[in-house]
Structure formats: C-alpha cells, structure tokens
Amino acid sequence: MICLVNSTHARYLKLGTKVCPGDLSKFYHLQVLDMVLDRNSTVPIGINNLISLRHLIASKTVYSSISNIGEMTSLQELHDFNCTSFKIAQLPCMSELVQLGVSQLENVITREEAYGAKLREKSHLEKLHLSWEYTLPQGEYGIDMNSELSSDAVETGTSKEVLEGLEPHPNLKHLHIYGYPSGTSPDWLVRTVSVTCLQTLHLEDCRELQGNKEGFSGFTSLEELMVCQCPELIPSLVQKYQNNDQGNGRWLLPHSLCILEIDDSPEMLQPCFLKDGNCLEKLVIEDSPSLECLQLCFCTALEELIIDDCKLLAALEGNLTCLRKLVLSGNSGLESLGLYSCTALEELTVENCEALTALEGNFTSLRKLDMSRNPRLKSLPLRFCTALEHLRIYYCESLDTLEGNFTCIKNFHLHDNSGLESLELYSCTSLEELTVENCEALTALKGNFTSLQKLDLWENPRLKSLWLGFCTALEHLKIYDCEVLDTLEDLRSLRGLRYVDVLRCTRLPQERLLSQGYDLCAGLERLRTDDFSFLTTSFCKCLTSLQRLEIHECTTGEVRRLTDEQERALQLLMSLQELQFENYFHLEDLPVGLYSLPSLKKLEIDNCQRISSLSEKNLPPSLEELQIRYCSKELIDVCRMLATKRSKPKIQINGDYVN
C-alpha cells in the first residue's frame, strides 16, 4: 500500500495497475514517478503538487489527464502537451524541460498565444516535437477528416504566425515538425536560423511547405535531415536550368550533414555542399516516382545508400568508392547496374527491379548479397566476390547459371529460381548452411561440402539424386516434397547428424535410406518422418540419443495401428523424451507400449481424428505434458476426464491447459 511509504523521504516511486495510488500531494521530494495505469484507473490526486518531480514515466494519456501540469516546474520530459486539453499558457514556468512534445497546435490561434509558452527562454530544451495532428489520415488519433475545421484552425497564415511564436532557444538540438499546414517556413528556421546548435531536423507531412535556394545550408551543425511527405519542399529547393545545364537538380546541403532521408524527389537530384569535402554517410530516397536522374558525384563520403520505389530511375551516377551498403528496391526502371567504383561495398540488396538484366561491378569486398524478385536477371558474375559470406537469391526466374569463387561463403539460400538446372558448388569449402527451395528445373546438386552443417531441400520436383560425400560436419538434414529423389550418395559420410526431417519423398524409403548407416545414427537427437518403415528393431536399437520423434501422415498406405514388430522397435527408444503424431487420418490406436518408454516427458497428438481412446495405464510415469489438438470429441472427453483425476501430466487441449 502506498500509505506505508514515507512521503517525506521518497525519491522514486513505481505504481502498478493493481496499486491504489491514493493522494500524492505530500510527496514533495519525489523525483521519479513510474506509473502503469489501465483504462479504468484515474490519475492520482495531487500529482500536480509534485514540484520536485523530474521524470514522469507514463503513457501519453496520463499527461493529458493532469489538470495543472504547468505547476510541475521540475519536469524534464513532457512528451505530449495536448493543446486540446491544456492552454499553452501553462508552459512558461516549466523551465527545466529537456524534451517537449506539443500536439493539436491547430487549437493555438495567435502568435502572441504561442509566444506565451516562452520556448525561447528554455535553455535546457534539447528535443522539441511540434504537431498539427488534424492533418493525419482518418482513423488515426480518432480524428474524422470529413469533419469541418474552423477557418482559424486551417488558415495557413495563422499556422505560420503560431510557429513563429514557438521559436525555441538556440541550444535546441533535435526538432520534429509534423503536419504543419502553411507553405511558408518561420523566419527562425529559414532566414536568421537562430537554432544554431540543431543536429537533427525531421519535417513530416507538411504538404504545402516550400523553401528557398539556400536550402538547409545555414544549419552549420545539422547532422541528420529527414523530409517525409512534403511534396512541395524539395522541388522548391533544387536548382532548375534549361538546356541540360550541369547545375540541374543541385540541392545545397550543410557540410556537417551525415544522414539524409527524403521522399517525393523531383526529376533530377544532385546533392551538393558548400565545401568540397562533406560528411554525408547515409542517403535514403523513397517513394519518388518522378526521379529520373540521381547524381552523387559530390557525395564522396557516402557509406550507405538506400533507394526504394523510384520507378523511373534508370541509372546510378557517382564515384561511390566509400560505399559499404547499397539497397535497391522497387526501382522498375533500372535495366543494368555497373558498380565498378564500389570497391568497398560489403552489403548489396537488389529486389523488385523488374527490368534489371545484368549486375556488374568490382565486388572484391562484398560479404552479403541479396537478390530477390528480379525476373529478368539472366547472369550473376561473381568471379571476384572472394569475400562473399552470405548469398540469397529469390525469384530470379531467368537466372540459369551461377559462376563464382565461393571459398568464403557460409550461408547460401536459393528460392524459386525456376531457370537453374544444376548447382556445382565445389568451391564452397566454407559453406555452413544451404537452402534450396522450389527450383523446378534443378536436377543435380554437387559440391565440396566439408563444412556444411545444415542442408534444407524443399519442393525441388526434378531433383533425382543428392551427393553427400565429405559432409562430415552435417548436423541438420531436411528434405521435403522432392518427389523423384531416390538416391542419397555417400550417406556414410554423415557422422555428425543430429536432426533429420524427411517428408513427402515417396521414392526415398527411409528404411533403405537409414539402413545405409546404422552405425552413424547414434548421435541422432530428432527424427521427423512420414514413413513407419524405419521402425525396425535393428535400426531403433542404434538410436541411443534420440530425444524427439515426430511421425506425420503416412505416405505408404492407410496405417491404422503399428505392427507387433514396430511396437517392439518403438520400445527400444529408451532416450526418447518427446513423441508427436500429426495428421494421421487413419490411425485408430496409439502404440500400446508407450508406458515402457522410461524417458518420455511429452506426448502430442495433432489432427488424428480416428483416435478415440487413451488408456491411463498406457501413459508412462515420466510423462509431464499431454497435448491434444484438433482430435475427436471422444478423445477430448477422455483427456478432460483424465485431467480431473490427476495433476500430472499437464493436459493441454487445443492450446488451453485444462488441469
């Protein structure tokens, strides 16, 4: 109870949803209040009397519920001062604020009213967020965009006057303006630039805002600039000339800028700086359907470049010798990429570039390559990618060959590349993980896989044989839906197997598969299969480390129950801890020898509709959990009855525990 706390000495107080906060008016020395209130809770009485409180940790709704929040003069963070709930005249005495968010500024009408907040005098203020939230899309913040706004609230000249009155102290470092409806910037942000210490500037959803040709060059300390959903701003800042002048598209930026993120770029864009050298390390351009030409010759320090959804962009121009990361996504006009200057490039992602047919460059430093959904890409010359460690190729239907020196590659993922007919990966001596999925034309997979630890093969309908020679490090083997696969060559090399999943490979009987190496199965910990034929005494007695067995829908006929031979074989799995039966539509009876599995802790029965009974005597004493999902009503009733008799095992039915 809060009444047990000495209000005189308390400096930190945390209140949970189940704690009655009571009256806080006597906690004069409290400095930190951490509150978690649910919808039915009310703000504690006397909270505005906490004149020493520096940090209030609570949701935004709590701030708007404190009637005289302006009396809390020691607060350092006020994340949502809502001008619908408060008069902005409450802010003047809050001189210790370091972070301030002011929303619903459409309710402030005059410059004098805004100036009354005295932001100019708050020398400790470092982070300021100003928001005209009525401009948000319908539904967000509960605002109906179809409702009529007063002429004073919408009038853009009034908004400019209000923003003029909200001029912050020159010490401000971070400024975020959202939804500003005027087309004119305040003088303190454009002409005089009084916020000389500003490091980050975010302008978002200011749809009428325009600038001048000086751009943001007056912000000599600016390190990060983000312009989002301001369609008029950047076109008003770039230079435009006739006759293809070299100055076309030039945008003057501060020399100190390190990060630039924009959208709605004009047709031509050429970032430039007041000095020859610059600090720009990261450039993000998104959702710019008009952008045709991007010149980056002045961005000599650029290390990260992200270009997303610029459908008319046909080429990249610039000397990108420092570039380390390049992401190109949704740029359907790109037909070719020549990245010969990108000698420092380490990460390259190219996705959804529908017209791209070729990728060329000097990729000697490339470590990670991700090519996804580039349907016209025909070749991928990777001969000089000697440092490549991660390669991912998805949905590149026209790609029919892979050439390269892959001696350093560790992870290789191929998905839905219907043109690939064969894979010869003899140079992949460092490969640790290989996934090949839905490559319809693939018939052969070969390589020198001495370091391979995980191999996943999914839905490769023409893959007939698999050579596993020298796979001495392989621990995970997963093969799904490879209908014609009938041969695994050199299986005896697999001396480190721990996990085997083989499903829906009808020409690969697992009795024959696993009989090639009984002596190699001693380390097997998990087996997932849809073939009961592996249940033989000669094989199961070798599975001395098996901990989990998953048996899925049988592909070799309608199995109703285990044979006597299979029952005896199952009882040899002395180390088995988890057993699952899934999607067995014809299975009527569980194995009768379950009780003799001394280590079994978990039994799962999923979607086995014909199983109607479960004998309590058939459950081993070691069983801790029984899970039933999507089974018959009869089996569910039996398990519910069992749950009333005993607390062990824990019984879960369709995701809910019943005891």
241-245, 563-567, 580-584, 598-602: range with lowest mean pLDDT: 241-245
- Return the pLDDT at 135: 40
317 vs 173, more confident: 173
- Return the pLDDT at 38: 66
Helix (H) or strand (E) holding 608: none
What's the 3-state SS for 126-184? CEEEEECHHHCCCCHHHCCCCCCCCHHHHCHHHHHHHHHHCCCCCCCCEEEEECCCCCC
Task: Calculate the alpha carbon distances from 602 to 387, 500, 553 in Å.
Answer: 45, 19, 19
Beta bridge partners of 640: none
- Return the pLDDT at 622: 96
Residues 510-558 pLDDT 10s: 655 655 555 667 889 999 998 887 888 888 888 999 999 999 876 556 7
Task: Answer yes or no: are the C-beta atoms of 288 and 264 closer than 8 Å.
Answer: yes
- Six token digits for residue 300: 């000599």
CB-based burial, 619-636: b 16+ in 10 Å, e otherwise:
bbeebeebbbeebbeebb
Task: Calculate the alpha carbon distances from 329 to 120, 140, 326, 363, 591 in Å.
Answer: 43, 28, 10, 19, 53
- Return the pLDDT at 137: 37
CATH for the 517-659 domain, from 3.30.470.10, 1.10.1740.10, 3.30.420.40, 3.80.10.10:
3.80.10.10
Classify domain 2-141+151-188 by CATH number: 3.80.10
- Return the pLDDT at 282: 97
Strand 368-372 and strand 347-351: the pairing is parallel
pLDDT score of 45 more than 90:
no
492 vs 597, more confident: 597
56-60, 133-137, 177-181: range with lowest mean pLDDT: 133-137
Cα angle, residue 436 at apex, residues 432 and 438 outer, rounded to 5°: 165
Question: Residue 114: pLDDT band by 50, 70, 90 thresholds?
Answer: very high
pLDDT score of 348 more than 90:
yes
Residues 556-588 pLDDT 10s: 567 888 899 999 999 999 999 999 999 988 889
- Return the pLDDT at 50: 85
pLDDT score of 321 more than 90:
yes
Nearest Cα residue to 470 out of 495, 487, 445: 495
pLDDT score of 155 more than 60:
no
Task: Calculate the alpha carbon distances from 498 to 129, 206, 505, 545, 577 in Å.
Answer: 54, 58, 20, 9, 15
| 534 Cα distance to chain centroid | 40
Rounded to an integer, the average pLDDT of 376-400 is 91
Task: Calculate the alpha carbon distances from 84 to 14, 111, 133, 349 in Å.
Answer: 28, 17, 11, 45
Burial environment of residue 436 by CB neighbours within 10 A (0 to 12, 13 to 18, 19 or more)? buried
31-35, 471-475, 491-495: range with lowest mean pLDDT: 491-495
pLDDT score of 143 more than 50:
no
**Residue type, position 49, single letter:** N
How long a stretch of residues is the chain? 659
Same fold, 2-141+151-188 and 517-659: yes
pLDDT score of 144 more than 60:
no
- In the chain, pLDDT over 70 holds for what percent of residues? 90
Question: Residue 147: pLDDT band by 50, 70, 90 thresholds?
Answer: very low
Residues 65-104 pLDDT 10s: 788 888 889 999 998 898 887 889 899 999 999 999 999 9
Phi, psi of 89 (to 5 degrees): -70, -5
The rounded mean pLDDT for the chain is 87
- Model pTM above 0.95: no
19-33, 243-257, 361-375, 505-519: range with lowest mean pLDDT: 505-519
Beta bridge partners of 526: 499, 548
23-37, 259-273, 459-473: range with lowest mean pLDDT: 23-37
Could you tell me the residue ranges of all domains in the chain?
2-141+151-188, 410-508, 517-659
- Return the pLDDT at 233: 93
- Return the pLDDT at 457: 97
Rounded to an integer, the average pLDDT of 419-424 is 88
pLDDT score of 293 more than 80:
yes
Q: Got the DSSP string for 552-604?
A: ---SSS---S--HHHHHHHTT-TT--EEEEES-SS-----TTGGG-TT--EEE
pLDDT score of 178 more than 90:
yes
Task: Answer yes or no: are the C-beta atoms of 296 and 269 closer than 8 Å.
Answer: no
Residues 609-639 pLDDT 10s: 999 999 888 999 999 999 999 999 999 999 9
- Return the pLDDT at 633: 95
24-33, 239-248, 622-631: range with lowest mean pLDDT: 239-248
For residue 465, give the DSSP letter: E
Residues 425-470 pLDDT 10s: 888 999 999 999 999 999 988 888 999 999 999 999 999 988 887 8
3-class DSSP state of 89: helix
- Return the pLDDT at 22: 65
- Return the pLDDT at 1: 46
pLDDT score of 140 more than 50:
no
